[in-house]
Amino acid sequence: MVYKPYFKYLDGPPPLSVSCRRMVRLEEVDVLGIVWHGRYAGYFEDGREEIGRQFGLSYIEFKQAGALLPIRTLHVDYLLPLHYLETFDLETTMHWHEAARLNIEYKIFNSERRLTTQGYSVQMMIDLEGNLLLEAPAFFRDFQKRWRLGELTPCGY
């Protein structure tokens, strides 16, 4: 199946992508012998953590800057199942946005390079008391500046 994009193109730099490889664990498999659909939320979170590691945008960096990133929307389209012991590649792509917000897309490919799952998440930024932040922390605005100027290395696959 062909990947269908979720986010409209916004005037800005190209998206940033990372990739990680993973094997399905026995605990993740349900009564039908496939990865239980709710587990993909955890897979996508692994993808966000990989983006965080590669670009210095992890939960820890944001927390130290006084911000948290609750999930506002999660959307998953399940095209093909994943089975116990299957190895898969998770590609996580962060799309440009000017506001204090993260728009992230996910694609999972199995070992035959077939698209099994796609989805997206939207995260808002709040301070440690739970108030919505209209402006991102300074370190993230610096990151946006370097992203816009093309000074970041999109880690690829």
CA-CA distances (angstroms) from residue 56 to 34, 46, 53, 118, 156?
34, 15, 5, 24, 16
Q: Can you list the positions of beta strands (E) in 59-137?
A: 67-68, 71-78, 87-95, 101-109, 115-124, 126-127
- Contact with its own copies (CB under 8 A) among 2, 11, 33, 113: 33
- Contact with its own copies (CB under 8 A) among 1, 10, 85, 132: 85
Rule CB under 8 A: is residue 38 a binding residue for its own copies? yes
How far is 21 from 87, CA to CA, in rounded Å?
Answer: 7
17 vs 117, beta carbon nearer its own copies: 117
Rule CB under 8 A: is residue 68 a binding residue for its own copies? yes
Which own/partner contact pairs does 141-149 have at CB distance under 8 Å and 24+ positions apart? 143/55, 143/56, 143/57, 144/98, 147/13, 147/16, 147/96, 148/12, 148/13, 148/96
Residue 20: count of CB within 10 angstroms of its CB = 18
Rule CB under 8 A: is residue 71 a binding residue for its own copies? yes
Rule CB under 8 A: is residue 78 a binding residue for its own copies? yes
Min dist CB 141 to its own copies, Å, is: 23
Min dist CB 11 to its own copies, Å, is: 26
- Contact with its own copies (CB under 8 A) among 14, 56, 72, 157: 72
Rule CB under 8 A: is residue 115 a binding residue for its own copies? no
- Chain residues binding its own copies by CB under 8 A are 25-27, 29-34, 36-39, 41-42, 45-46, 49, 58-60, 68, 70-78, 81, 84-85
